[in-house]
A and B are shown apart, each in its own frame.
Chain A
Amino acid sequence: MTLDRVVWTMLQEARGIYQDSPRATAWLRAQAERYAEPVRIAVAGRSHIGKTTVVNALIGDEFTPQSSFVWYRGGTGPRAHVFSGPSRPHEVAIGRRGARHHVETGQFDRADRIVVEWPARTLRDVVLIDTPSDASPEQVLGDADAVLYLMRHVQDDDLRFLQSAHDHPIARTAAVHTVAVLARADEIGGGRIDALSSAKQIARRYRRDAAVQPLCQNVVSVAGLLAVAARTLREDEFQALRALASLGREELEDHLLSADRFAGERFPLPMDPAVRQALLERFGIFGVRLVTALVRQGFDSQVKLTGQLVQRSGLGELRDSIAVHFTERREVLKARSALLALDVLLRMEPRQAARKLVADLERVVASAHDFRELRLVAAVQSGRTKLPAELQTEALRLVGAEGTAPAVRLGFEYEADQRELREALLDALVRWQAQAADVHASHDHRRAAQVVVRTCEGLLPQFP
């Protein structure tokens, strides 16, 4: 039985056992609903780090920031509900503030959460949760299956947050749910034109950093402002930017030295200061520099520019990361959340009848192959298990550190046919069986090889 079936059965069993407890029943019902939902991703980080900006960039629409948890989920039409206290949710209107959408929470300014249904493609596969910066790690992690953690540079506070996500023993056995994001990548490079590639390099360094690596699956850099602007670029803005780009390079550079200069009086173009101010707010001084440079380089249509900006801002990479680490691993993430929830319930309300469930829970956590794969990934990445370099890369790939699709696991970068995949798989299987039986290798080495062999065996039925 696959992991998600097993966990689903356990949830049902628990519902049978706890029939008489209304609290437990409500809890389990919520978990069962959550089990069927898309992956919930919380966007967390310090204040003013750009959480709402990243959420907006992912959705492709701009919403004003709120002071409570905001859930964005897919829907046929735009609707918003406010959940406050034990009372029933209130439907509220979604209005506009300038170019942004605004949820008219009105009197519910301290709502528990606001749920926005929004027709966006991104929201088909995920539910995004924008968190307030004063939320504790428990609050953030309680409802989410996965976390995008935003930071500038990895600082002690940030590491503490990420560590607290691993406090629970079940969470530790399946450390699978965090992608760290170096937000404000444009500022990391001091606003220089190459700031974004510099930020990417830093992200790469953190990916290999021993303190960061075990705490998250990936580190990517994103220039949030630019990403939002790319997704919501308007015609008038594009025209204004084109007009700017038409200025001489030297002259423009001079006026792009500082935000004050750009928005100031002595601007060579007959352009309304309000327009320039708006551009600054939307793109930032770095954004204006980059966009004008890009337009000059030949990305002079809105479509070309948008594509280029999505790529450069790191949004593309962020989306890929979400796909590889969260959406593709939906079953594992959901199973993990459900197991955590079951564990909470079994400990809060211990019962004689639930003894079997406790044992099942332990068994699943200890033996589910998906979790074993994840543990191996964590062990190899943190350096607890050491493999020779080339084997390590292959092992990580095969157990799905880079993606769980068979072709990705087998390291094909092109569309390979069934026969090729099967041969590559058999090849890998034989090689790793040899590794697993290698008497000269260390114990850890052989254990790791056994996990890889099991993964290969599991893939085999897909290629008859």
Chain B
Amino acid sequence: MAPPWLDVLDETIGACVTHRRPDLEARLREKRAQQLDPKLRVLVVGESKQGKSQLVNALLNAPVCAVGDDVTTTVPTYVQHAETPSAALVRNASANGSIFHTPTERIAVPIEQVTRQASAQSQHVVRAEIGIPRALLDNGLVLIDTPGVGDTRSAHTAGTFATLIQADAVLLVSDATGELTTAEMALLKKVMEACPNVTVVVTKIDLVPSWRAVVERNRALLARAGVPAKLIPVSSALRLRAAKTGDQRLNTESGFPELLACVQRDIVASADLLARRAVAVVASSAITQLVTPLREELTAHDSSHTSATISTLQEAQRRVDELRRRSARWQNVLNDEMADLISDVEYDLRDRTRRILREVEKTYDEADPAIGWEKFEQWLEDNLNEAATTNFAWLMERAEWVAAKVARNFPVYREDLIPGSVLPDDLLEPASKLEKPKIEPFSVPQKVFTGLRGSYGGVLMFGLVTSLAGMPLINVISLGAGALFGGKSIMDESDQRLKRRQAAAKAAAQRHVDDFFVKASKDVRDSGRQIQRSLRNHFSTLAEELQETLMESARSAKRAVQDDQTERERRMREGRKELDKLVTLYKRVQALGGPTMELSA
């Protein structure tokens, strides 16, 4: 018939499976396998250099475990019954993992060398196994000597805790040179969690005159911590010496008879009780671990599940607000930038046309418009066109820059954020034709007439003067003067005409350029405004789309929160049912005879 604890343990394992806790399940299965094993494992633990190995040796009256002044034991050593003394190292192929479920290999070694070899290859060795014919071990008792806890080489400590789960009983070793330290008390509590059958062994009482006081203090410490552990003072050195000399009295002094009796009575004889207690402790610790998250979920209304959806909702709302706040910003940026842009571009245009005008003036200070007017006209047209093109190119460039800047100030980034073409297709209509200035040609009859008019005054003036000298009115002198005067008048007249023509040409150019400027600047302004408008349309469409998306996600988050409410209530009901089941199970576990721990529903 299966013992009663087996059912409870199996049920607990089942609960672990339902609650998806494979770690706990593995632990319980290990415990189950170990409890079904007829062997009784007694673990010897303690901090380093407390005399653990020596205690094992003294218990068995044989130097099976090496002892030394420095850290000696590096792997757990299992000492069990065998007909002939033998020893083996158990190596592990894959380094990590539970001791139970990984493939291992056994290597037989001479019994004297087992510790040394184990230390030498402690990286790979999982444990050492020693078999020795002893009456104490006859009924399946296995003593497990462990590496010291709290040593600097943490691998040792890990090894000790790995063996802890397999223990049926634990001997916690602390030497009499000092009372239990806080580290040792912590260790004791940790051990109690995995295995409640703990006996504290105070070693080295031969060395310490005041060991009785230490034992008393330790008892008080245990009582204060509420640890129901027995405390036995022993001296391994005395025991080993007594074994050598056969001195019974010394043996009694060593305290070992009491320890052995305790081992026999409390551990070997009451294996079933031990099993029940051990199972109770492990199972209740597992159930407690299952119950904790369940209860947390039940009590916390804003538990982990809903908090995620709520945070999504808050995030969505936050982003909507953010978008509103930032859309004002991008609009401002667009307005400011476009105003700047237009005034800059206009100024540029004005600058360019003025430069052309200055060039024209310089040219017609010298040149005669009558000669090569067509050429000039062509030049002016080319220059103005070039100015307009450059200016327009600049406008386009600046407009694109503005678009990019607005995009930067836009709350989110998207691929199509910068518009492909927002610019007007054609803005360069040819400006009005340049009007040719009135050119007054200086024809030959006009020249003759002007010459004659000039020479008339000269002939008359000099004729009158020479007639006083008795000469005729028309004589050589007056005719010469007349010719001179006529020539000068022609020269003067043609000079004036040139000046007039130049002025007219300049005025015509001026007018033309002005016209051009008015037209071009109008175009620039128009296209600027057009760009602004199209940019604004583009970005506000985007913003609206975005806002809609965000609103939608906020709405769906809100819905999710509401849905959660009903879902959670259902889960709460289920959780409560589960919890009740676990609490019942826990009570059955408690009935097995484990220590009483508080677990309220």
The chain A residues found within 8 Å of chain B, CB to CB, are: 46-48, 152-157, 159, 184, 187-191, 195, 198-199, 201-202, 205, 209, 211-212, 257-261, 263, 277, 280-281, 284-286
B419 contacts the other chain (CB 8 A):
no
Residues of chain B contacted by A190 (CB below 8 angstroms): 51, 54, 67, 69, 204, 207, 237
Report yes or no: B71 in contact with A46, Cβ–Cβ below 8 A.
no
Interface of B is mostly: loop
Give me 20 A-to-B residue pairs in the complex whose CB atoms sit less than 8 angstroms apart, sorted by A's number.
A46-B181, A47-B178, A48-B178, A48-B179, A154-B152, A155-B48, A155-B152, A156-B154, A184-B177, A187-B175, A190-B67, A190-B204, A191-B206, A191-B237, A201-B69, A258-B206, A258-B235, A259-B206, A259-B209, A260-B253
Q: State the Cβ distance, A284 to closest chain B Cβ, in Å.
A: 7
Please determine whether B150 and A157 come into contact, CB atoms closer than 8 angstroms.
yes
A44 CB to nearest chain B CB (Å):
16
Known: A184-B177, A277-B209. Is A195-B250 also a contact (CB below 8 A)? no
Question: Which residues of B have CB within 8 Å of A286?
Answer: 207
The chain A residue with its CB closest to the CB of B206 is A258
| Cβ-closest chain B residue relative to A211 | B152
Kindly count the residue-residue contacts between A and B in the assembled complex, taking CB atoms under 8 Å apart: 89
Indicate whether B183 reaches chain A with its CB closer than 8 angstroms: yes
Contacts of B179 in A (CB 8 A): 48
Determine whether the beta carbon of A284 is less than 8 Å from that of B70: no
State A46–B184 Cα separation when bound (angstroms). Answer: 13
Provide the residues of chain B in CB contact with A189, threshold 8 Å. Answer: 69
Q: Which residue of B lies closest to A188 (CB)?
A: B69
B69 pairs with A198, CB closer than 8 A = yes
Whether, in the assembled complex, B354 has its beta carbon less than 8 Å from a beta carbon of chain A, the answer is no
Cβ B209 vs Cβ A263 within 8 A: yes
Taking a contact as CB atoms under 8 Å apart, the answer to whether A259 and B208 are in contact is yes
- Rounded to whole Å, the gap between the CB of B379 and the closest CB of chain A is 68
B241 on interface, CB distance cutoff 8 Å? yes
Cross-interface CB contact of A157 among B67, B183, B211, cutoff 8 Å: B183
Q: Are B237 and A153 in contact (CB under 8 A)?
A: no
Q: Which of A188, A190, A277, A284 neighbours the largest number of chain B CB atoms within 10 Å of its CB?
A: A190
Task: Please provide the chain B residues from 467 to 488 with a CB less than 8 Å away from any CB of chain A in the complex.
Answer: none
Min CB–CB distance A263 → chain B (angstroms): 7
B47 at the interface (CB under 8 A from A): yes
CB-based contact B250/A155 at 8 Å: no
Q: Kindly identify, within residues 143 to 162 of chain B, every residue whose CB is under 8 Å from any CB belonging to chain A.
A: 150-152, 154
Report whether over half of chain A's contact residues are helix, strand or loop; otherwise say mixed.
Answer: helix
Complex-state Cα separation, A198 to B68, whole angstroms:
9
B177 shortest CB reach to chain A, Å: 5
- Inside 8 A of A280's CB, which chain B residues have their CB? 209
Residues of B within 8 A of A48 (CB): 177-179
Most buried by B among A153, A199, A205, A212: A153
Q: Please tell me if the beta carbons of A285 and B70 are within 8 angstroms of each other in the complex.
A: no
Instruction: Assess whether B49 is in contact with A152, with CB atoms less than 8 Å apart.
Output: yes
Which chain A residues lie closer than 8 Å to B152 at the CB level?
A: 154-156, 159, 209, 211-212
Are A258 and B205 within 8 A (Cβ)? yes
Besides the known contacts A187-B207, A198-B70, A259-B207, 15 further A-B residue pairs in the complex with CB atoms under 8 A apart = A153-B71, A155-B48, A155-B150, A156-B152, A157-B150, A157-B183, A190-B204, A201-B69, A209-B152, A257-B237, A257-B241, A257-B250, A260-B205, A284-B209, A286-B207
Q: Is B238 interfacial (CB-CB < 8 Å)? A: yes
Residues of A within 8 A of B205 (CB): 258-260
Residues of A near B154 (CB, < 8 A) are 156
Chain B residues packing against A (C-beta within 8 Å): 47-49, 51, 54, 67, 69-71, 150-152, 154, 175, 177-179, 181, 183, 204-209, 211, 235, 237-238, 241, 250, 253
- Residue of A with least CB distance to B178: A48
- Given A187-B177, A211-B152, the answer on whether A259 and B49 have CB atoms closer than 8 Å is no
Q: By the criterion CB–CB under 8 Å, are A201 and B70 in contact?
A: yes
A202 to B207, CA, bound (A): 20
Q: Please state if A257 and B71 are interface contacts (CB–CB under 8 Å).
A: no
What's the Cα separation between A263 and B206 when bound, in Å? Answer: 11
- Tell me if A257 and B238 are in contact (CB < 8 A): yes
Complex Cα distance, B54 from A285, in Å, reads: 19
Chain B residues with Cβ below 8 Å from A156 are 150-152, 154
Q: Which B residues are in CB contact (< 8 Å) with A198?
A: 69-70
- In the bound complex, do residue A261 and residue B70 qualify as a contact, i.e. CB atoms below 8 Å apart? no
Which 3 pairs, one residue from A and one from B, show the smallest C-beta to C-beta distance?
A: A258-B206, A259-B209, A198-B69
Residues of B within 8 A of A46 (CB): 181
Contact between chains at B69 and A202 (CB < 8 Å): yes
Among residues of A, the one whose C-beta sits closest to the C-beta of B177 is A187
A284 touching B207 in the complex, CB below 8 Å, given contacts A48-B179, A153-B48, A198-B69: yes
A212 contacts across to B, CB distance below 8 A: 152
User: Is B206 in contact with A199, judged by CB distance below 8 angstroms?
Assistant: no
Are A195 and B69 CB-contacts (below 8 A) given A153-B151, A155-B48, A258-B238?
yes
Q: In whole angstroms, how far apart are the Cα atoms of A45 and B179 in the complex? A: 15
**Min CB gap B269→A, angstroms:** 30
A188–B150 CB distance below 8 A: no
Q: In the complex, A150 Cα to B238 Cα: how many Å?
A: 29
Expressed in whole angstroms, the minimum distance between the Cβ of B252 and any Cβ of chain A is 11
Residues B47 and A155 in contact, CB atoms below 8 Å apart? yes
User: Please, which residues of chain B bring their CB within 8 A of the CB of A201?
Assistant: 69-70
Q: Which residue of B lies closest to A186 (CB)?
A: B207
Contact with B253, one of A195, A258, A284 (Cβ below 8 angstroms): A258
Query: How far is it, in angstroms, between the C-alpha of A202 and the C-alpha of B175 when the chains are bound?
Result: 19
Contacts of B69 in A (CB 8 A): 188-190, 195, 198-199, 201-202
Please report the C-alpha to C-alpha distance between residue A285 and residue B211 in the assembled complex, in whole angstroms. 12
Taken together as a complex, chains A and B put the C-alpha atoms of A257 and B207 apart, in Å, by 8
> How far is it, in angstroms, between the C-alpha of A199 and the C-alpha of B69 when the chains are bound?
7
Cα A154 to Cα B153 in complex, Å, equals 10
